[in-house]
């Protein structure tokens, strides 16, 4: 029983670690995506300003 508990605990640790890594990857992707969106919005604003003038 003790051996089984150890393996299940270890499995749980591995699952938690992979989840944290996935969350970090997602966070990194989200920040990059937000930066790209902001850049695109800034370009649009510049174009709109030029058209108005």
Separation of CA 37 from chain center? 15
What local confidence, expressed as pLDDT, does residue 13 receive?
Answer: 79
What local confidence, expressed as pLDDT, does residue 48 receive?
Answer: 65
Query: How far apart, in whole angstroms, are the C-alpha atoms of residue 1 and residue 38?
Result: 55
Q: pLDDT tens-digit profile of 17-53?
A: 788 888 888 889 889 988 988 998 888 777 766 666 6
CA angle 4, 6, 24 (to 5 degrees): 125
Place 15 in a pLDDT band, splitting at 50, 70 and 90: confident
SS3 1: coil
What total of structural domains would you count in the chain?
Answer: 1
Per the structure, the complete domain to which residue 48 belongs is given by 1-52
pTM of the predicted model as reported, rounded to 2 decimal places: 0.43
């Amino acid at each position: 029983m003790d051996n089984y508990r150890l393996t299940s605990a270890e499995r749980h640790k591995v699952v938690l670690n992979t989840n944290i890594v996935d969350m970090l990857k997602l966070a990194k992707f989200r920040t990059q995506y937000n930066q790209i969106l902001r850049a695109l919005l800034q370009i649009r604003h510049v174009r709109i300003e030029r058209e108005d003038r």
